[in-house]
Amino acid sequence: MNIVVLAGGISTEREISIVSGTGICKALKERGHRAILMDVYCGQEEISMDDLFPEEYDVDKAAAYMRSFDAKVPEMIASGKEFFGPNVLTVCKAADVVFMGLHGENGENGKVQAAFDLFGIRYTGSGYLGSAIAMDKGLSKQFFEEYGVPTPKSVMLNKEDPAGRIAESGIGFPCVVKPCCGGSSVGVYIPQDEKELQDALQKAFAYEDTLIVEEYVKGREFSVGVVDGEAYPVIEIAPIEGFYDYKNKYQAGSTVETCPANLSKEATERMQAYAVKAFHALRLSGYGRMDFMMDEKENMYCLEANTLPGMTPTSLLPQEAAVLGMSFGELCEKLIEVSKKSR
């Protein structure tokens, strides 16, 4: 197949997206596909319409080209540049499928997916509606509660809302403060008292105008991939220091990840069932990954859904697939297959 691996973009997860996209592109090429790597925002000025998907292609060179724009992206945004970069739509229309290696804003929030639907471009992952719902953590929680998926108590705050609403909701300390539509744990804080809470709110509001303040669940953290409506093996995430923040997610050796997780058969099946229920509740399709906390009494709480899970060397979904005997390249092909089937 002729495949565009779309990565980069303008979110706080731009670098992780480039890492994911590079790995995906290399894996697909190793599987015999003609895959190329493109930055959704910066695009590529010069292309050859006669050979859009060359057999000989340097993925690392393409990734370096994307990174050459990193320092310029804020200026490009300020200038009012349109979102899709030069030749992005042209090349995507010519592909058999676009593998979405995007993460975060304008990658996972459904806007790119909606545009691709209008242009008739086939892509991996959920459609625009499921992507938009899952990206909004406040909205996701409402869907979880409606469909019987347990989730921690929370309150949404806008900049003009009084912080006293947190105490009124019954949420005490410690609590979790995070941007409503962020990803990769960017802007997430766990304040222990009122002073730390005020500091956390100030810092988190620098990322977004809407925040989630959530009840802190003390216990173990897990994640469950769902592919084509089927739950993959549960993986446990145990950071060596602190919580599962940006550093612990992407810095090798900072987290102990155990798959399959050391859980009873009953607990494993219950968490997998909740993951599948959450997947359907949020109108997801193709694949996704659900994050959970479990307290000492084995009460489980779904934190959020990831519609385009990370595909870096330390990412969770590839580790879950490996337990099923699936290589990284086979997983990439599987994600293409189930995404095409779901639309």
Active site residues: 13, 184, 315
Half-sphere exposure of 35 (CA within 13 A, CB side): 28
Per residue in 44-58, is it b (16+ CB within 10 Å) or e — as a string?
beebeeeebbeeebe
Torsion angle defined by CA atoms of residues 138, 204, 189 and 315, in that order, rounded to the nearest 10 degrees: 70
Q: How many other C-beta atoms lie within 10 A of the C-beta of residue 93?
A: 14
Strand arrangement, sheet containing 220-227: 255-258, 230-239, 220-227, 287-294, 300-306
Distance CA 217, CA 316 (A): 21
Burial of 7 (0-12, 13-18, 19+ CB in 10 A): buried
Q: Is the dihedral of CA 122, 126, 127, 131 positive or negative?
A: negative
- Residue 117 annotated in ligand binding: no
Half-sphere exposure of 78 (CA within 13 A, CB side): 5
- Residue 291 annotated in ligand binding: yes
Torsion angle defined by CA atoms of residues 172, 174, 175 and 176, in that order, rounded to the nearest 10 degrees: 180
The strand pairing partners of 40, in sequence order, are none
- Residue 158 annotated in ligand binding: no
Query: Pairing mode, if any, of strands 2-7 and 97-100?
Result: parallel
Distance CA 245, CA 258 (A): 17
Residues annotated in a binding site for Mg(2+) = 291, 304, 306
Residues annotated in a binding site = 291, 304, 306
